A = this chain, B = another copy of it.
Amino acid sequence: MQNNLLKKNEVGVFALGGLGEVGKNMYVVEYQDEILVIDSGILFPEDHLLGIDYVIPDYTYLFENQDKIKALIITHGHEDHIGGIPYLLRQVKVPKIYASGIAVGLIKNKLEKHKGFRVPIIEYQEYEKIVLGKLSISFFRTNHSIPDSYGIAIHTPEGVIVHTGDFKFDFTPTGPDASYHRIADLGRKGVLLLLSDSTNAELTDFTKSESVVSENIKDIFTKIDGRIIVATFASNVHRVQQIVEASVATNRKVAVYGRSMLRTLEVGRDMGYIKAPQGTFIDPHHLKRYPNEQMTIICTGSQGEPMAALSRIAAGTHRQISLQNGDTVIFSSSPIPGNQEGVSKTINMLFRRGANVITNSPLTDTHTSGHAGQEEQKLMLKLIKPKFFMPIHGEYRMLKIHSKIGINTGVRKGNEFVLDNGDVLAVTRRSARVAGKVQAGSVYIDGSGIGDIGSVVIRDRKLLSEDGLLSAIVTVDKETMKLVGQPVITSRGFIYMREHEELTSEMSQLVGTEVQNKLSNSTTINISYLKKTMTRVLSKYIYDKTERNPMIMPVIMIVNN
């Protein structure tokens, strides 16, 4: 299928996910009959109550244009950039995946669980330039909260498009430096369009360096006599290494808990990111063999996730670890918006069990973000000097603020594009315009299914969660057109019906009378009409009596056939 939004010499650039949201990143660069896809992420829904595990982009456009796809290119190994790969591969033919370093391990690990994928995963190196038809790609290393994060330069016949990936500039990083000179070189030679990370566009500062956090963690460790429990993001391999180093420096053994943290440890040690003297890591089952002052526990649960290790420790339901007076819990993390309540509950429980708790604050600095603040965004813009600018990776206000930063640092007014998912930016060496829209949206993943949860189901769950459900079941004799017995009223999540027998019997009578009336005035059983009638009379009656609006589920059973 030809993309009829684009003229022949135009390069199309658009997001299928990542604009107006933090998550499910997926950007597409299209030129004539070729498509490059950058990243394939998931989004963790803000609202944990509606039973949705995560959200992926609508892949329809890619499915319909799958013959054009040359490759999927991964910037780094975070879930909001790689988590959607198994779902994408089930629906869309992708000839190969390019990724680097730890992302390769994480993607392979992910695909092993979903058998039958045979797509080659090719590891790219920073110095490479890879030709993929009329387009080619090169790379530059950035700093981020997972090792091996890269920005991508897409070399098109119309000019270079730079996608920063997730980045910050950390002048004293735990891992290697960002490739300042490669970035500067791209800018010197001329960049047509910059797509840049907007996550921290509201932060007026420079994001703090990892080495500040590292120093603080070491400092805190030297002051603590008892057992130390540190919760952090499992993907932050550098941070885990810092915690290990602080433990070694204070003569502590390290035990690791939580599935994703154990995977980090395994991959991190395999790849040489996590290093420690022989005997530092102990078997989690041997915890009791070591005195408290010689133990560090690293675990998941820094976001208050109910099933994670730290939450179970706090609740007293962890199999191996029970809190003791003198234990100190360090959060080397900040709550992601939406998780504050969960984190707050965890902290309260930890305090109740007598633990000391150290959270990230301006006084402790036990955590720093992986994303560029405004000053770093400006530095990127100054180095890249793009003709056109499209802020990506952020909610609308972040994109908007970032676009202003672009203009303040030299992008010509009118050359900045704050877009939505699906909006196609068509660029040539001279011009840029919004050419139209391709299909983009959200697909909900719940349990093992893909996309069988639609917005109606979500809306129903929301209604159910507010006032519960009330069901009325009416049995009709097909021949006599008379009700059989009394309508049955039953409910869940509404009120205790057993304590409201009067209400129940009134509802049953009301529905019975109303349905019998309609039946008596009719010669056929119009099920949909009867159901509407039942819903109407019950809704009104219940609201009048209780000021509530439970969902009404009318059921009509027909007997005697």
Q: Which residues of A contact B (CB under 8 A)?
A: 20, 46-47, 49-51, 204, 337-338, 340-341, 344, 347-352, 357, 361, 363, 395-397, 400, 446-449, 452-454, 456-457, 460-469, 471, 473, 475, 484-485, 488, 490, 492-496, 499-500, 546-548, 551, 553, 555, 557-559, 561
Residues of the B chain whose Cβ atoms lie less than 8 Å from the Cβ of A350: 397
6 nearest CB pairs, A to B: A465-B465, A447-B547, A51-B466, A460-B493, A464-B464, A461-B493
Residues of the B chain whose Cβ atoms lie less than 8 Å from the Cβ of A395: 344, 348
Q: Are B559 and A485 in contact (CB under 8 A)?
A: yes
Q: A469, A493, A559 — which one has the most chain B CB atoms within 10 A of its CB?
A: A493
Q: Are A557 and B460 in contact (CB under 8 A)?
A: no
Residues of the B chain whose Cβ atoms lie less than 8 Å from the Cβ of A466: 49-51, 461
Q: Are A397 and B49 in contact (CB under 8 A)?
A: no
- Distance in angstroms from A369 CB to nearest chain B CB is 16
Whole-angstrom distance between the alpha carbons of A446 and B548 in the complex?
8
Q: Are A546 and B448 in contact (CB under 8 A)?
A: yes
Choose one: B363, B448, B490, B557; the contact of A488 (CB below 8 Å): B557
Q: A475-B475, A557-B475 are in contact. Are A351 and B447 (CB under 8 A)?
A: no
Whole-angstrom distance between the alpha carbons of A465 and B453 in the complex?
13
Q: A51-B466, A397-B348, A485-B559 are in contact. Are A490 and B448 (CB under 8 A)?
A: no
Q: A338, A361, A460, A461 — which one has the most chain B CB atoms within 10 A of its CB?
A: A461
Q: Are A471 and B553 in contact (CB under 8 A)?
A: yes
Output the nearest chain B residue to A554 by Cβ-Cβ distance.
Answer: B490
Whole-angstrom distance between the alpha carbons of A316 and B83 in the complex?
35
Choose one: B341, B464, B555, B561; the contact of A493 (CB below 8 Å): B464
Identical copies of this chain, number: 2
Residues of the B chain whose Cβ atoms lie less than 8 Å from the Cβ of A499: 452
Q: Are A495 and B453 in contact (CB under 8 A)?
A: yes
Q: Are A555 and B348 in contact (CB under 8 A)?
A: no
Residues of the B chain whose Cβ atoms lie less than 8 Å from the Cβ of A49: 47, 49, 462, 465-466
Residues of the B chain whose Cβ atoms lie less than 8 Å from the Cβ of A344: 337, 395, 397
Choose one: B361, B553, B557; the contact of A557 (CB below 8 Å): B557
Q: Are B338 and A457 in contact (CB under 8 A)?
A: no
Whole-angstrom distance between the alpha carbons of A471 and B551 in the complex?
14
Output the nearest chain B residue to A343 by Cβ-Cβ distance.
Answer: B337
Q: Are B337 and A337 in contact (CB under 8 A)?
A: no
Residues of the B chain whose Cβ atoms lie less than 8 Å from the Cβ of A553: 471, 490, 492
Residues of the B chain whose Cβ atoms lie less than 8 Å from the Cβ of A357: 397
- Distance in angstroms from A488 CB to nearest chain B CB is 6
Choose one: B348, B396, B460, B546; the contact of A449 (CB below 8 Å): B546
Q: Are B469 and A492 in contact (CB under 8 A)?
A: yes
- Distance in angstroms from A316 CB to nearest chain B CB is 14
Q: Are B496 and A456 in contact (CB under 8 A)?
A: yes
Extra 4 A-B pairs, beta carbons < 8 Å, given A51-B548, A348-B397, A448-B546: A49-B49, A357-B397, A457-B494, A461-B465
- Distance in angstroms from A408 CB to nearest chain B CB is 15
Q: Are A496 and B546 in contact (CB under 8 A)?
A: no
Choose one: B452, B468, B490; the contact of A464 (CB below 8 Å): B468
Q: Are A363 and B397 in contact (CB under 8 A)?
A: no
Whole-angstrom distance between the alpha carbons of A546 and B474 in the complex?
30
Whole-angstrom distance between the alpha carbons of A464 and B471 in the complex?
14
Q: Are A47 and B341 in contact (CB under 8 A)?
A: yes
Q: Are A492 and B555 in contact (CB under 8 A)?
A: no
